[in-house]
Amino acid sequence: MTGVAGPPGGIRRVGVVGCGTMGSGIAVLCGRAGLDVVVVASGPAAVPAGRARLTGSLERAVSRGTLTGAERDATLGRLEFTADLDALADRDLVVESIREDEEQKAELFVALDKVVRSPRAVLASNTSSLPVTRLAMVTGRPERVVGTHFFNPVSALPLVELTGTLLTGEDTLRRMTEFVEVALGKTPIRTPDRSGFVVNALLIPYLLSAVRMVEYGVATAEVIDQGMTLGCSHPLGPLRLADLIGLDVVTAIAESLHREFREAQYAPPARLLRMVEAGLLGRKSGRGFYAYP
């Protein structure tokens, strides 16, 4: 007798905490994959904005012709929005995607550990820089905690950094690899549990070097970006890329790397710190190294 294959990794019900750029992207990805998704916003007032962000993303996909109206409606039907963490009790996987603040993420993992009932449920962090062990150790299930670092925009970029700690079970990593590959259609790479993992450990010093060149008057942002796009075939120059990521996010990752490795290449330049303090965060605020009317 032939059995019917279950969902990839045994994961059918997904929770996403946070519905900013990354959280909403992950939620849409899971919804389009046919999964039952609960999205938890930071508070009741954030629920309508989160729903609007996800709906807007799906509408843009329809306008581009990459999604039909029927598929949009079906995806929205799989998404539930709430501000109540208790709605995650029956989830097979919960992905945390709140701001890159270790204390806030740790507090959330303590709460998720109490709320999520299934002993096999996986708790994942979309952290782009923080060591996952620190989050795993505040829970009673460190063997079920992983890092799943998606990239922006989630719908377009195929990579997911999958990070296990010294305590993560091999079964958890196997299930998550299958889930990322089969259910989500992404390419996972196993990365070490160190600040920045692989991609940001390479990328952030490059972005910071470009900021320093602007700060020291070596070249303008436009010249630097032209140099890297036209001379090195990069799709985006480093400063436009920093604006896309968010200068606050770049700063947070740099500070995490600098705390862990104490190397000068990871220290955020004063120019970058002042821009963040002034609210010049890049594309999402309308102005960074470039203006976005």
Active site includes 152?
no
DSSP letter, residue 128: S
Angstrom distances, CA of residue 30 to CA of 38, 147, 158, 174, 183: 10, 17, 14, 19, 8
Burial 67-80 (b: 16+ CB within 10 A, else e): beeeebeebeebbe
Which amino acid would we find at residue 55?
Answer: T
| The one catalytic residue among 24, 125, 126, 149 | 149
Q: How far apart are alpha carbons 270 and 214 in whole angstroms?
A: 11
Active site includes 234?
no
Residues 6+ apart with CB under 8 A from 118: 90, 91, 92
| Number of Cβ atoms within 10 Å of the Cβ of 255 | 17
| The one catalytic residue among 24, 57, 200, 256 | 200
Query: Rounded to 5 degrees, what are φ and ψ at 79?
Result: -105, 130
| The one catalytic residue among 161, 195, 256, 258 | 161
Pull the structure tokens for residue 258.
């600098």
Residues 6+ apart with CB under 8 A from 267: 208, 254, 258
Active site includes 161?
yes
Q: How far apart are alpha carbons 12 and 189 in whole angstroms?
A: 22
Tell me what percent of the chain is helix, strand and coil, each rounded to the nearest 5.
50, 15, 35
| The one catalytic residue among 24, 125, 126, 128 | 128
Residues 6+ apart with CB under 8 A from 20: 53, 97, 98, 99
Q: Are 167 and 143 in contact (CB under 8 A)?
A: yes
Q: What is the set of active-site residues?
A: 128, 149, 161, 200
